[in-house]
Every structure is written in structure tokens, then in C-alpha cells.
Amino acid sequence: MIGVISKVAQREALEEFFELFKTPWETFVPGRKYDTILSTTDEVPLGEAKLVISFGAGPKSGDSSIGITATQHRKKGPIKYKGATVPVYGECALLTTEAESTVLVSGAQGTVGIRRSLANGATVIRLGYDVFEEVRILLTEGQPLEYAAVPTLDLHIEMLRNWILSEGIALLEIPAAPADCRFMVCLTHDIDFVGIRNHRFDHTMWGFLYRSTVGGMKNFLRGRLTFRKLLKMFRAAASLPLVHLRWVKDFWEPFEWYLEVEKGLAATYFLIPFKGQAGENVPGEHASRRAAGYDVRELSDWAATLKQRGNEIGVHGIDAWHSAERGRAELKRIEDVAGKPANGIRMHWLLQDGKTYDLLEEAGFSYDASAGYNESVGYKNGTTQVFRPVGARKLLELPTHIQDGALFYPNRLDLSDAEACTRCNEIIDNNKTLGGTLTLIWHDRSHGPERFWGDFYINLVETLKYSGAFFVTAAGAVEWFRKRREVRFVRPDSGGVSRSGLRYQGEEIQPPVRIRLYHPSRGNEKAGRSSEAPAEFVDIHWNGISLNDVETQRVSQFLQSSPNLTVAPQI
């Protein structure tokens, strides 16, 4: 059990941190037994736990007693932990000491994290930044493009986990991935167009003709397009009058292609609710281009087919990001076409502001999937996990990590297939380590001319199939994380020993969660990123209702070697 001492204003951030790092914790109670105490205030009760971790850029009253001085306040900048770069967005201080100690975290100008052994056998770790302030910034402001590739929040979790294990402290955790898989994958499609025949003599049609002729030749000359695809592009441009006459197939029609490529896999399709509405308060230039050229009511047959094959229909919102009334109308329109429930939304152009989450919740949405970059791929909020935005009550956010346009558009990353493969594999590798959900956006016309990003998508999906991932709709991923959040840790009467158990009173969790029990052996600071040896643990699969005989026996055997862990009768 971790005893936490924090500032009053940090309560929401700290609670969300421990929903993501799902491990037993409670507000520190003086005199109660704890394995670890974590403090972001001036109160640092040394000697009351085996490990005390003190966060903060400002000097603390207890610093002098452990021989540490905090100096040189600065704003932002990366720190290094075991070879990984971890951006710090709030205040940060350098730490100095003349006592015998170990440097855990360093910055460009000096030491940011120090470990010291005390005379009573306990350990204190002093960090020159405030972890809960970092969480607040990540979940509200997000990360700049400079650090898009860094899962910063997840690295803060990893550091704390490793520091606890390195002190020989047993740990109970529910990892951020279901049993029998390494992470989850959400294949999502923003349906901005359902065919080019909806566009006659408008910006979309003229843009296609330019990109499939002059633009195609430019891409061929710079090695981004094969001669075979260039010819296909020319043929598509030449066939445009026949497409409008319905004499040949519309090469932008998305549904048939995706159903074939994703056969047997669940995906989520976000449909624009109203034709010809660009929306209000749209920032930037060319706001009129945001309007859809299709009427979603004409897609009722496709919507029924998609749902029949296990897919989800969501709202690709126009004005819901700034108006609850408009959000309710958009939700109703999609539900009229696709049937209930259609409780998920991704905003067209990923628009949002500081009031968006409150308005979406008021409109009746249970999750949003707009947290991502238009300009890059990676971790807008620094995490692979579904999270509750600051200020929200029930609404959860499914972050987006890989978007086709961000990878390939000339005015964005403009990557070759090989470069894009490298970036995507880095994100997949992070998910293998961190768990969570990897969310992809592949747009409706990306498989056809003039983009021809379909082959890359097919290879990416095949890579994910062999990566230990579990494919699920956006709503399915959110629901799994919601049930994981509903699992509560309890502290049964244990005769003064710091123990933890579990309680869950919801519906059956499928796929089951994993209850991970780490063995309290020293030396596990080597575990984790760039590790030489993994931490010792056992995973027990639990559906929230009961354990089978095999899992019960595994728990019993493991607990015999872990005296400060227990699983309470509520499990």
C-alpha cells in the first residue's frame, strides 16, 4: 500500500494517475503502516516506511536532514532515466548532495533524482519535479510536437514502479492490458467522403485532379510513387466522368475495401451526421472545406452491414466540441441511421477546447476519441491508456496514436513507406512494453487514388496481428478500461501489516483483467526499459466475479513467498 501526501489542488490529477498505475494507494494516515510513502508537499515523514519518495522543485524542510539541496529552478526540458528521454513540463530543480547516494535521474545541467539509504535501513528518493503537476499538464495541455513520440505519462508510471520494486517491496498491480494479450488495437475510420461522385466541380474534385496528375508526377520523381501506381492514378483521373455517370465503380468507396482487408477484425467507423455543414467557430483557413458531401441517411444499408459484422458506428462530430445542443442533434442523427448505442465521438479535424469534454458529457457521449495529432503520430497526452480528462465525471478519452495523413501528407511528416514503418514499429514496441490501446485512424479514401496508402495499411494490420494484440472496437476498449477503473483496492484488517485486496461489483469483465503480483526481491531496478532481467511476477486472470481452481492455486503459491501481499476475500 502506498501512502500519498499531496497538495489539495492535485487531487484530481493524483487520482487519475493511480487509475493508470492501477496499484493500491490511499491518502497518508499518520501511524498507519505503509510500504511506500509518496509526497509532493513539504511533509516528508522519514522513517515511517521502507521507501519514501519526495517530489518537488522547491526546497523541503527535510532536505537538510538527508543532506540534499534543491537549486537552480528552471522551466521544462527533458530528463534522462535509464536511457529514456522524459520531458518535464513544470518546474524542475537540480539536486546536489555530499552524502553517499545514487543518481537515478539526470538532466542536461545536472542531477534531478537522487536515492539515499538512511541509517535506519529505509530509503529516500528525492526528485526535483512534481509528478502530479506533470500529470495535470499532460492530461490538460498535452505535449508539443517535439515530444510527440514519447509516452511521457507512462514513463512516469514505469519509473515509480521500478523504484518500488528495486527496494524489495512487493507490489500488486492491474496492468493496462487484458489477459492473454500484450495490448489492444482499435482500427478506426473517419468517413469524410464516401465517394468522389458526390463532388462535382468543387474543391475536392479539382484537388483530386491536380494531385492525381501534376502531384502524382512529382511524387513519382521523388521516389514516393511507383510507375504502376502512377498509371493507376492517371487512369482514375481519366475515368472521373464515367464515375459521375455511374458507368464505372467509384474508386473512393470505402466500406467494401475495409471489410475485406479487416475480415474478422472489429473496427469503428465515425460518420458525419449532416451533409453540407462545415460547422461554426472553425479555426484556421478553409473552414468551408470541412463540410461533408454525403448524406448519412443514404448509408443506412452500409451501417447495418457494418454492425452485423461486429463493427461500431460512432459520430464524426461537427459542432459538438463547442455546443451540447448541437452534440445531442449529431448523436441523434447517427443513432437514427445506425441504431443505438452510438455513444462515441471523434471530432472532425480533431477540434476541441477547454470546455469540450463537459459539453460532450452533457450531450450524452460516453467517450471521445479526438485526443491526437493532425501533424504527427505519437502520444498527445503521453499515454497509451484510456483516461478520464480533467474535469470530466464519466466521459473517458480514447487517445489516437497513428493517423495516415500525419504520416504521409507533404505538409506534415511526409514520410516514405520505410520511414513510416519505422515510426509505427516504435509505437508498437512501446505498446508491447506498456500495454494500453494503440488507436489508428485510416481515412475513407486513403486506400485509393491518389493516396494509395492501402498497401501500407494492409501490412500494418498484418504486423499488429502478430504482435500479441487484441483487436477491439473503440467502444469495446473504453468499456474494458471503464471496468478496470471500477476495480477497487481494499485494506483489510491485517494486524498492522500493509496488505491490499480487491473489490469489484460490476458486470463480468471480458476479456479478464490480469492481477499482477510482483515478488519482493531486490535488484528489480534493472527491470523495465532497457532491462537486463525482468522483475519477477505472476499474473492471475480475473473476470471480476471468481477465480478458477488453477488461478486460486497460483495465488496461494505466490503469496507464500510474499508475506506482505494478500488477496482479500472480496476477490
Does 552 score more than 60 pLDDT? no
Where does the pLDDT of residue 569 fall: very low under 50, low under 70, confident under 90, or very high at 90 and above? very low
What is the mean pLDDT of the segment spanning 261-269?
A: 96
Does 564 score more than 60 pLDDT? no
Name the residue type at position 356: T
Q: Looking at per-residue confidence, does 462 or 551 come out higher?
A: 462
What is the mean pLDDT of the segment spanning 81-100?
A: 90
DSSP 200: S
pLDDT digits (tens, 9 = 90+) for 369-421: 999 999 999 999 999 999 999 889 999 999 999 999 999 999 999 999 999 99
Q: Which CATH number covers residue 341?
A: 3.20.20.370
Percentage of the chain with pLDDT > 70?
Answer: 90
Strand partners, 538: 517
- Contact between 420 and 452 (Cβ < 8 Å): no
Cβ atoms < 10 Å from Cβ of 31: 5
Q: How far apart, in Å, are the Cα atoms of 558 and each of 14, 22, 551, 553, 568?
A: 30, 20, 11, 9, 14
Name the residue type at position 394: K
In a domain, 568, yes or no: no
Does 568 score more than 80 pLDDT? no
Q: Which of 377, 376, 355 is nearest to 368 (CA)?
A: 355
Where does the pLDDT of residue 558 fall: very low under 50, low under 70, confident under 90, or very high at 90 and above? low
Q: How far is CA 189 from the centre of its chain?
A: 17
Q: Are strands 110-117 and 102-107 parallel, antiparallel or unpaired?
A: antiparallel
- Residue 157 and residue 25 share a domain: yes
Where does the pLDDT of residue 275 fall: very low under 50, low under 70, confident under 90, or very high at 90 and above? very high
- Contact between 39 and 52 (Cβ < 8 Å): yes
- Residue 143 and residue 108 share a domain: yes
In a domain, 175, yes or no: no
Q: For residues 384 and 399, what is the distance between their CA atoms, to the nearest angstrom?
A: 7
Could you list the residue range(s) of the whole structural domain that residue 231 is in?
197-251
- Contact between 404 and 443 (Cβ < 8 Å): yes
In a domain, 52, yes or no: yes
Q: pLDDT value at position 72?
A: 67
The 3 state secondary structure assigned to 276-296 is CCCCCCCCCCCHHHHCECCCH
Name the residue type at position 349: W
Strand partners, 149: none
- Contact between 505 and 522 (Cβ < 8 Å): no
pLDDT digits (tens, 9 = 90+) for 413-431: 999 999 999 999 999 999 9
Name the residue type at position 223: G
Q: pLDDT value at position 99?
A: 82
Range of 91-105, 212-226, 426-440, 521-535 with top mean pLDDT: 426-440
Q: For residues 455 and 330, what is the distance between their CA atoms, to the nearest angstrom?
A: 33
In a domain, 322, yes or no: yes
Q: pLDDT value at position 530?
A: 39
**3-class DSSP state of 116:** strand
- Residue 471 and residue 382 share a domain: yes
Name the residue type at position 114: I
What is the mean pLDDT of the segment spanning 246-264?
A: 94
- Residue 284 and residue 143 share a domain: no
Element (DSSP H or E) covering residue 344: strand 344-347
Q: pLDDT value at position 494?
A: 52
Q: pLDDT value at position 523?
A: 46
Q: pLDDT value at position 531?
A: 41
Alpha-carbon dihedral 551, 552, 558, 563, rounded to 10 degrees: 150
Q: Which residues, in sequence order, are CB contacts of 31 under 8 Å at separation 6+? A: none
State pTM to two decimals.
0.92
Phi (first) and psi of residue 270, to 5 degrees:
-100, 115
Q: How far apart, in Å, are the Cα atoms of 255 and each of 249, 263, 309, 461, 524?
A: 13, 12, 12, 16, 49
DSSP 349: G
Q: pLDDT value at position 225?
A: 85
- Residue 537 and residue 465 share a domain: no
Q: Which of 189, 190, 302, 196 is nearest to 249 (CA)?
A: 196
Q: Which of 547, 555, 549 is nearest to 571 (CA)?
A: 547
Q: For residues 192 and 409, what is the distance between their CA atoms, to the nearest angstrom?
A: 16
Q: For residues 394 and 556, what is the distance between their CA atoms, to the nearest angstrom?
A: 36
Could you give the number of structural domains in the chain? 4
Q: For residues 262 and 496, what is the distance between their CA atoms, to the nearest angstrom?
A: 54
Instruction: Using the 3D structure, point to which of 452, 480, 508 is the last residue of a domain.
Output: 480
Of the candidate ranges 260-269, 473-482, 515-524, the one whose mean pLDDT is the lowest: 515-524
In a domain, 82, yes or no: yes
Q: pLDDT value at position 223?
A: 87
Does 565 score more than 70 pLDDT? no
In a domain, 433, yes or no: yes
- Residue 414 and residue 289 share a domain: yes
And the C-alpha cell for 103?
543518481
pLDDT digits (tens, 9 = 90+) for 489-529: 887 655 555 566 788 888 999 999 999 999 765 444 444 44
Phi (first) and psi of residue 146, to 5 degrees:
-55, -35
Q: pLDDT value at position 205?
A: 87
- End-to-end CA distance of the chain, in Å? 17
The beta-strand segments (E) located in 6-67 are: 25-27, 34-39, 49-55
Q: For residues 448 and 454, what is the distance between their CA atoms, to the nearest angstrom?
A: 7
Where does the pLDDT of residue 571 fall: very low under 50, low under 70, confident under 90, or very high at 90 and above? very low
222 CB burial (10 A radius; 0-12, 13-18, 19+): exposed
- Residue 556 and residue 533 share a domain: yes
Q: Which CATH number covers residue 85?
A: 3.40.50
Q: Which residues, in sequence order, are CB contacts of 556 under 8 Å at separation 6+? A: none
- Residue 221 and residue 260 share a domain: no
- Contact between 39 and 58 (Cβ < 8 Å): no
The torsion region of residue 260 among left (phi > 0), alpha (psi -120 to 50) and beta comes to alpha
- Residue 433 and residue 336 share a domain: yes
Instruction: Using the 3D structure, point to which of 480, 504, 524 is the last residue of a domain.
Output: 480
Q: pLDDT value at position 404?
A: 97
Q: Could you tell me the sign of the dihedral formed by the alpha carbons of 270, 506, 176, 134, in that order?
A: positive
- Residue 496 and residue 466 share a domain: no
In a domain, 177, yes or no: no
And the C-alpha cell for 409?
501528407
Q: For residues 318 and 297, what is the distance between their CA atoms, to the nearest angstrom?
A: 16
**3-class DSSP state of 338:** helix
Q: For residues 350 and 380, what is the distance between their CA atoms, to the nearest angstrom?
A: 12
pLDDT digits (tens, 9 = 90+) for 16-36: 999 999 999 999 999 888 999
The torsion region of residue 309 among left (phi > 0), alpha (psi -120 to 50) and beta comes to alpha
- Residue 498 and residue 361 share a domain: no
Instruction: Using the 3D structure, point to which of 461, 480, 499 is the last residue of a domain.
Output: 480
In a domain, 225, yes or no: yes
What is the mean pLDDT of the segment spanning 253-273?
A: 96
Does 128 score more than 60 pLDDT? yes
- Residue 439 and residue 412 share a domain: yes
Name the residue type at position 258: Y
